[in-house]
Each structure stands twice: as structure tokens, then as C-alpha cells.
């Protein structure tokens, strides 16, 4: 067995496992689908029998039973079809919800470390398009195959009532049409489904990145080139879809040919039986229509086999994400959080490097303490590893050596969700959802009252601005908060952190990209936020440093200086040089 086939089989079994909670509904749906097709078979065949019988029967009363059967089968078919459609779509939508929740449950532990390895457009395609593709697994693969098996068994039994040879011929044509043709179509389109999904993913990536960077594309005059690249991708996708359409058309033509041959073969065998009076001649039309109607169950199988390739390809893409090992995980037996509301952080010999950096370390032998309620600033040039320290505290990554302690206990001994509840985070790129001001605040405290929301806004010096808005707290902030200014976004992020009221505060370049006036106002809000909290402040702007209990200076992943603001200025070190550059001062004597 080739590796690709082994992967496909493993993917198929894993996808079928998603159906396990819905087995009772699937059984009922398949039965209804089988009843619908069998009712149609009897409807058409009995109608043919009725027409033939009317030509030789003089009293209509003798045809009352066939007439009743025709009417009854019409009602049964309509009722079964309605029930089958209702249940099948109910199962499909619940299945999609089940898959999406399962995928999201696996995605959450991967953020942000593993998800950084994926492009946003490709990730969006997998979560939306690929999951949607899996709805066809049940609607167009599993259900049609099971219904076809059920109808084939019933067809054999109906023909066997007249003659075993007729039953064998009927089943032979159904099997050839249901297996050979789909396998031929599958061979003709081998790999095309996977290639189509991959191309769609690339197109999605291209579109998402183009939209996100449209202003830069226009500024640099590259919008036309980008559009031409998209047209080239779409052209490749169009060629691929035409190949799939040709294979589908060939399969449909052969399907019609086999259907005609099946009806012709049944008549070739049945006519001698009628001539020899082994069966009544009035049943010739009955048998022909029975054979014709039986193909209703077989026709969807070609599409099912073709769709199987798409579903397996979508499943493989999803499972590649689901199977990613998280960079961090909960301990087998998580420790209870410290009871104290004042918590101490400590780094002991921490060493860390990102996977993509090979042997180059981002942090080397980092050791320091942040006493409960203390404010520690981490400064240094860009790329020194400052933000990485905060990511390690949040356990987005774990250090390769050393440990980080919370009140003397290793962070890795606590459950991730419990640990992160203790931390309030404000960064220069704090994400604001395309929601109202209220909705973004409630992210930190879903049960917060309106009074608490306004108090947090007041402490963040944003309440006057919000009160002036026509919709107040219910004002929509736009995607990523783009309807707000940079300072307003940061103050809203501070209000959110205040609302969370966490004992540990992590601040990462919160005043970056702001003008001096906005920056000064924001610093006042930050001072309120830091009051009484164990605070780690990462910044390259040396403002408010005199209020810090300790300042750590990082350079190339190492702590090269530490002390208070006045002490560091008195030394002829990196901190003093950074201070002088920032303030455009001549070296002090």
C-alpha cells in the first residue's frame, strides 16, 4: 500500500469518526432515502403495469389494487423525501458545527506559537472552505453509498420474484455502474481535488494579503501587478475545474449508456420468458421501469466518489493543523493557584530560542525577581528579547532551560487557563474586535455592570470621549478598532485590563507610535493601572522610568545592566546611551 493511499485511508476513518454521535439519525435518514427510491421504483413500474393492464382488462375495477398502489407510492415517496431532506440537512449542519468546534478546540492551544507557521489566508481557507467541504462527506458520500447498497438489495429481491437470472443481470449492471464508473472517474481526476483545494487556499491567501496591504500596493504602484498575479492563479484554477468538468461529463455519458443497456438487457431476457408464459406479458413494462428507476440510487455514486477526493483532501489539510503538537500544555495534575492576591514573579537561569532560529538564542541566562506589587521595566534596543520575556510569562512558549516562578512555583505546574486569569496584558497592537466599545470591554469581565465599565473608562481617561459619542458604549469600533485613534485604542485596552483587575500586569510597548501629548496622557492612565500590581513593562521609550522599582537593560538576549533610573544614568553604560539618544543630549561629563 502506497503512503498516499495509507494517508487517505487514515483520513477517511478519522473523518467518519465525526459521524459517530449522529449514527441513529444517519440510520433513519438512510432508511428514508431507501424508502423514497423504492417507492419511486414501485410507482413507475406499477404505473407501467397499469397502462399495460388497461389495454387488456375490460373492467376498471380489476385494476383498483394497482391504482391504489400507485397513489400510495406517490404519497410515500413525497413523505420519505421530505423526511430524508429534513433529517439529512439537520445532521449535516450539526456535523459542521461539531467539526468547527472540534477544530477550534484544537486550534486554541496552538496559538500563537504554532499558528505563526501558517499564513492567515490559508488558515482562513482551512477553517471555512475546508470545513464546509466536509458537509459533502455525509450528504454526497456516506448517505448515497448506504442508500445504494440498500436499494440494490431490494432490487435483487424484486427481480428474483420473477426470475433469478433477471435479478443477477439487474444487480450486475447496478454494481458496474455504481463501482466501475466512479472508479474510472476517480482515476481520471486523481489528485485534482487536492490540487484544487490547494489552489483555492493560495487564491484566498493572495486576496487576504492584497486587501490587508492595499494602501501599500497603491502607494508603490503595485496594485496592477498584484491583480495580474491573482488572474494567473484564477486561470490555473479554471483549467483545473475544466478538467474536472470533462471527467464528470464523460462519467455521466457512460452512466446514461449503461442505464439504457441495463433496460435493454432486462427486456432481452424477459421477452422470451413472457413468450413462454413463464411470466405475464403485462409485466414487461413493469420490469423495464423497475430497472430504470433503480438507477436513481446509483447515479449519485459517481459524484460521491469524486466528492470523496475533495473531502479527503480537505480532511488532510485540517488534520495537518489538528495534529500539530502544541508548544505548551497543561500539567497532568495542575497545582492550585496561590491564595495571595499579591504575587511575585522570578526568572531563574532562563534560556530560550525560537524554533526557526536554530541554535541562535533569543534569551541567555536570564535571572531576576519582580516582588509582589513591584514595577520592573525591561528596556533595550530592538531585537534584544524584551517582548519574548512577556510571552514566556504568558506561557505562549516555555524556556528550553531554567524556569519562571510564580510565588516560588514553576509556571508549568499551573493550568494554562488558571495562570492567564491572573494576568492583564496591554500591548502596542492590542486586538480590538469589530464590536462595540461595550463588547470589547466585556471580553475581560463578561459579567461586569455598566457602572464598572464607566469606572474603568474613567481610570483610563476615556470616559469623556465615550460619553460624547452618539451611541456611547454601544459605538462600533470597526475592524481592529480602526474607527478609533491610536491613543483611544490604547486607552480602551488599558480600560479592559483595569476591568480584568488581574494581580499581574504585562505591558509591551504600550506608548509606541503615539505623539508626545497622547503619550503623556496615556502614561497617567498607565500609572493608575500599575498601582498595587506586579508589573513587567517592556519599552524602548525611556519615559516614566523614575517610577520603576527596577530597570533591566537587555542587549542580545542578556541582562547587561540593572538598577534604578538614577543609578543607571550615573553609569556610562547602554542605558545612559539610550537615554541620551532619545533626548538628543550630548554625553554627560
Residue 449 has pLDDT above 60, yes or no: yes
Q: In what order do the strands lie in the sheet with 558-563?
A: 423-427, 504-508, 534-538, 375-379, 550-555, 558-563
Q: What is the DSSP code string of 15-45?
A: HHHTTGGGHHHHHHHHHHHHHHHHHHHHHHH
Average pLDDT over residues 139-143: 85
Provide, for the chain, the percentages of residues in helix, strand and coil under a 3-state DSSP scheme, each rounded to the nearest 5.
65, 10, 25
324 phi/psi in degrees, rounded to 5: -65, 125
Helix (H, G, I), strand (E, B) or coil at 480: helix
Residue 57 has pLDDT above 80, yes or no: no
CB atoms within 10 A of CB 580: 15
Residue 234 has pLDDT above 80, yes or no: yes
Report in angstroms the alpha-carbon separations of 484 from 445, 477, 478, 494.
Answer: 22, 6, 8, 14
pLDDT tier for residue 481 given thresholds of 50, 70 and 90:
confident
Q: What is residue 153's predicted lDDT score, i.e. its pLDDT?
A: 94
Q: What is residue 62's predicted lDDT score, i.e. its pLDDT?
A: 61
Residue 490 has pLDDT above 90, yes or no: no
Cβ-contact 422, 502 below 8 angstroms? yes
Cβ-contact 419, 411 below 8 angstroms? yes
Name the nearest CA neighbour of 131 among 317, 325, 4, 307: 317
- Distance, in Å, from the CA atom of 258 to the CA atom of 182, rounded to the nearest integer, reads 13
Tens-place pLDDT, residues 402-448: 999 999 999 999 999 899 999 988 888 788 888 999 999 999 889 99
Q: What is residue 2's predicted lDDT score, i.e. its pLDDT?
A: 65
Alpha helix positions (H), 19-163:
23-56, 64-107, 120-125, 131-133, 135-136, 143-160
Question: In percent, how much of the chain has pLDDT > 90?
Answer: 36
Q: Within 13 Å, how many C-alpha atoms sit on residue 427's CB side?
A: 12
Cβ-contact 343, 503 below 8 angstroms? yes
- Distance, in Å, from the CA atom of 229 to the CA atom of 246, rounded to the nearest integer, reads 26
Residue 515 has pLDDT above 80, yes or no: no
Cβ-contact 384, 552 below 8 angstroms? no
Tens-place pLDDT, residues 12-37: 888 888 888 899 999 999 999 999 99
Please report the domains of the chain, with CATH numbers, ordered by start residue: 10-191+241-322 (1.20.1560.10), 345-583 (3.40.50.300)
Residue 587 has pLDDT above 50, yes or no: no
Torsion angle in degrees (nearest 10) through CA of 167, 172, 173, 178: 120
CB atoms within 10 A of CB 183: 12
Cβ-contact 465, 484 below 8 angstroms? no
Residue 157 has pLDDT above 90, yes or no: yes
User: Using alpha carbons only, what angle is made at residue 385 by residues 382 and 391, rounded to the nearest 5 degrees?
Assistant: 125
Nine cell digits for residue 346? 522570578
Tens-place pLDDT, residues 551-579: 999 999 999 999 999 999 999 889 998 88
Tens-place pLDDT, residues 321-342: 888 888 888 899 999 988 777 8
The DSSP bridge partners found for residue 406 are 345, 409
**Mean pLDDT (the chain, rounded):** 86
Cβ-contact 308, 11 below 8 angstroms? no
Residue 130 has pLDDT above 60, yes or no: yes
Specify the pTM. 0.74
- Distance, in Å, from the CA atom of 329 to the CA atom of 343, rounded to the nearest integer, reads 22
- Distance, in Å, from the CA atom of 191 to the CA atom of 309, rounded to the nearest integer, reads 8
Report in angstroms the alpha-carbon separations of 113 from 273, 416, 500.
Answer: 74, 14, 24
Residue 248 has pLDDT above 80, yes or no: no
Nine cell digits for residue 373? 506589587
Question: In percent, how much of the chain has pLDDT > 70?
Answer: 94
Helix (H, G, I), strand (E, B) or coil at 381: coil
Nine cell digits for residue 482? 480602526
The DSSP bridge partners found for residue 550 are 376
What is the Rg, in whole angstroms, of the alpha carbon atoms belonging to the chain? Answer: 35
Alpha helix positions (H), 326-462:
386-393, 416-421, 437-442, 450-459
Tens-place pLDDT, residues 76-121: 999 999 999 999 989 988 988 888 888 888 887 887 777 777 776 6
Nine cell digits for residue 115? 499558528
Q: How many residues does the chain have?
A: 589
Nine cell digits for residue 572? 556610562
Tens-place pLDDT, residues 160-170: 999 999 999 99
Q: What is residue 586's predicted lDDT score, i.e. its pLDDT?
A: 39
Residue 366: alpha-carbon gap to chain centroid? 37
Amino acid at each position: 500500500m502506497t503512503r498516499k493511499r495509507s494517508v487517505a485511508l487514515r483520513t477517511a476513518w478519522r473523518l467518519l469518526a465525526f459521524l459517530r454521535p449522529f449514527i441513529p439519525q444517519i440510520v433513519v435518514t438512510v432508511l428514508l432515502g431507501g424508502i423514497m427510491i423504492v417507492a419511486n421504483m414501485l410507482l413507475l413500474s406499477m404505473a407501467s403495469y397499469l397502462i399495460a393492464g388497461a389495454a387488456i382488462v375490460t373492467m376498471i375495477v380489476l385494476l383498483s389494487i394497482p391504482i391504489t398502489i400507485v397513489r400510495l407510492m406517490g404519497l410515500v415517496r413525497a413523505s420519505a423525501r421530505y423526511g430524508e431532506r429534513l433529517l439529512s440537512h439537520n445532521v449535516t449542519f450539526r456535523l459542521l458545527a461539531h467539526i468547527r468546534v472540534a477544530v477550534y478546540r484544537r486550534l486554541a492551544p496552538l496559538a500563537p506559537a504554532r499558528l505563526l507557521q501558517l499564513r492567515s489566508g490559508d488558515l482562513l481557507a482551512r477553517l471555512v472552505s475546508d470545513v464546509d467541504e466536509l458537509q459533502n462527506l455525509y450528504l454526497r458520500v456516506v448517505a448515497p453509498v448506504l442508500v445504494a447498497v440498500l436499494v440494490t438489495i431490494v432490487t435483487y429481491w424484486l427481480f428474483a420474484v420473477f426470475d433469478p437470472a433477471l435479478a443477477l443481470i439487474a444487480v450486475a449492471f447496478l454494481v458496474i455502474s455504481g463501482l466501475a464508473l466512479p472508479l474510472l472517474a476517480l482515476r481520471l481526476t486523481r489528485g485534482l481535488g487536492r490540487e484544487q483545494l490547494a489552489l483555492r487556499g493560495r487564491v484566498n491567501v493572495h486576496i487576504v494579503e492584497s486587501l490587508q496591504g492595499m494602501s501599500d500596493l497603491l502607494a508603490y504602484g503595485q496594485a496592477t501587478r498584484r491583480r495580474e498575479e491573482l488572474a494567473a492563479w484564477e486561470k490555473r484554477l479554471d483549467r483545473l475545474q475544466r478538467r474536472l468538468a470533462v471527467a464528470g461529463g464523460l462519467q455521466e455519458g457512460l452512466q446514461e449508456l449503461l442505464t439504457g443497456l441495463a433496460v435493454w438487457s432486462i427486456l432481452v431476457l424477459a421477452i422470451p420468458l413472457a413468450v413462454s408464459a413463464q411470466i405475464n406479458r403485462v409485466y414487461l413494462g413493469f420490469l423495464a421501469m423497475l430497472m430504470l428507476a433503480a438507477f436513481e440510487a446509483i447515479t449519485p455514486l459517481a459524484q460521491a466518489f469524486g466528492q470523496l477526493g475533495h473531502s479527503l483532501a480537505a480532511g488532510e489539510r485540517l488534520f495537518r493543523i489538528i495534529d500539530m503538537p502544541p508548544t505548551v500544555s497543561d500539567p497532568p495534575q495542575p497545582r492550585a493557584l496561590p491564595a495571595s492576591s499579591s504575587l511575585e514573579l522570578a526568572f531563574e537561569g532562563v534560556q530560550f530560542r525560537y524554533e526557526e532560529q536554530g541554535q541562535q538564542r533569543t534569551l541567555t541566562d536570564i535571572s531576576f525577581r519582580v516582588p509582589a506589587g513591584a514595577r520592573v521595566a525591561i528596556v533595550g534596543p530592538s531585537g534584544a528579547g524584551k517582548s519574548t520575556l512577556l510571552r514566556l510569562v504568558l506561557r505562549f512558549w516555555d524556556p528550553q532551560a531554567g524556569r519562571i516562578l510564580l510565588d516560588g512555583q514553576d509556571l508549568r505546574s499551573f493550568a494554562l487557563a488558571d495562570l492567564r486569569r491572573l494576568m492583564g496584558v496591554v500591548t502596542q497592537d492590542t486586538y480590538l474586535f469589530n464590536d462595540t466599545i461595550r463588547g470589547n470591554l466585556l471580553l475581560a469581565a463578561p459579567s461586569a455592570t455598566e457602572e464598572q465599565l464607566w469606572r474603568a473608562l474613567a481610570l483610563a481617561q476615556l470616559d469623556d470621549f465615550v460619553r460624547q459619542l452618539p451611541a456611547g458604549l454601544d459605538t462600533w469600533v470597526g475592524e481592529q478598532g480602526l474607527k478609533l485613534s491610536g491613543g483611544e485604542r490604547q486607552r480602551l485596552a488599558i480600560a479592559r485590563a483595569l476591568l480584568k483587575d488581574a494581580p499581574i500586569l504585562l505591558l509591551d510597548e504600550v506608548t509606541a507610535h503615539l505623539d508626545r501629548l497622547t503619550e503623556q496622557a496615556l502614561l497617567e492612565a498607565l500609572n493608575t493601572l500599575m498601582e498595587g500590581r506586579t508589573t513587567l513593562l517592556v519599552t524602548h521609550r525611556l519615559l516614566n522610568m523614575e517610577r520603576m522599582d527596577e530597570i533591566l537593560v537587555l542587549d542580545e538576549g542578556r541582562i547587561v545592566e540593572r538598577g534604578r533610573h538614577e543609578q543607571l544614568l550615573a553609569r556610562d553604560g547602554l542605558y545612559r546611551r539610550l537615554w541620551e539618544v532619545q533626548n538628543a543630549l550630548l554625553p554627560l561629563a
